[in-house]
Structure 1
Amino acid sequence: MHAVPDKAHARFDAEARTYEYFVRLIPDPFGVNQSLYLDRAPNVGAMNTAAAYLIGSRDFTSFSKVKGGENHYICVCYEAGWHPIPGGLVFRIRANRFVRGMVRLVVGTLLSVGRGKLTPEEFGHILHTQSRIAASGAAVAKGLFLSRVEYPSELVAAEEPTGMPYFVPTS
C-alpha cells in the first residue's frame, strides 16, 4: 500500500476499465453462477465482426439503460472481442468509461448476431442510429466481471510487494 493524493478518486481517476463476460458451451454445475450457458455454439466470427463496430469513440445510447442518469453516452472503446477459453468463450471489452447497462446490452445483442438473428451490419446500424429499442435484451448478469482498472502511474505503485500486478499504469 502507498499514499495517494487526497483528491484521488477510484472511479473518476481511472483511465480505462476492462470487463469480461463468460459463456459456457458445455454444461458445468460449478459454473452456473459465474457464466451464461448456451446449448449450441454461436457464430463467433460474426460476433467478432459485429464487435469491431464498437472500437473507437462511439455514442453508446443504443446500449444503455433508459434514464441511466448519464450526461452523455460517448465512450472510447479500445478493445472488444470474443475469445475461446476451455469449455466456452469470453467477451472482453476495454474502454475509458461505460454507461449503465452497456456491457450486458452489448453482449445480449452480439449473442443475437451469433445466433443468426442479426447480421454484423445490422449490429453496426443499431450502434450508429442510437436506437435503444433496436438492440436485443441484456445478457444475464451472472457472467459479467470487472477484470481490470487502469490508473495513471502517478496514482499507484508499480507492483504489490508480492510482485503480482494489481493495476495497470497507463503513462
Structure 2
Amino acid sequence: MVPTARESLLEAAGAALAARPWPAVRMVDVAAVAGVSRQTLYNEFAGKTGLGHALVRRDAAWYLDGVDRALASPGGCAARLAEVAEWTVTASHARPLVRALLTGCWNGNLPVPAGRGVRPGLPALGPAELLRSVRERADAAFAPAEAEWAQRCELAVRLAMSYLVAPAEPPGPGSLELLRLFNGAGRTA
C-alpha cells in the first residue's frame, strides 16, 4: 500500500525530529524528504505547529496500539500487565514524544501537544489522558470476572512510568522484574 502524503510527511517529520531538535526542523526539508511540495505540507497541516501536533497525536496512537497488542497477547492476566509495563518503558526509550507524553516533561527540543503552552485552559494530551486511555483499553480487554486486572493495569503503567523518571541500571528487558513480582506473573491468573 502506498502511503498518503500525510503519512509520508509525518514519517519525514519524525525522522527529522530524531536527527535534530524541533526548532531546527525545516518545513522545506520535511516536504523534500516526503517527496511532496511545501504547499502540500501546508495544505495538510497548516504549518509547523499543526505538523508538530499531528506528530504528538501519531506517537500517542503508536503507544496505545502497543498497549492493545500487549493486552491481547497470550498468557495470564499478570503476564499481559507486565507486557504493558515493558512496552511503556520500551516505547518511551524509542520515541522522545512518547516519553514526554507519559511524563509530562516537555522541553524546547520537542513539538508540544495542542493546548500545551499555546492556549491556556485548553486540555492537552498528556499523562492523565494516556492513563485514561490505557484504563479504557484494559477494561475492554479483560473479562468481567477479571475486572480487578483492569484496575491493576493503570498501576502497572504508573509503576513503569517511575522507571522513566528513575531508570533501573541497566535498562532493558528484565529491568521490570519488580513489576512481574508485584503482579505475580508466575501465577496462572
Structure (1/2) with the larger strand percentage? 1
Task: Identify, as 1 or 2, the structure richer in helix.
Answer: 2
Q: TM-score, length-normalised on structure 2?
A: 0.24
| Structure with higher RCO (Cα < 8 A, 6+ apart) | 1
TM-score normalised by structure 1 residue count: 0.26
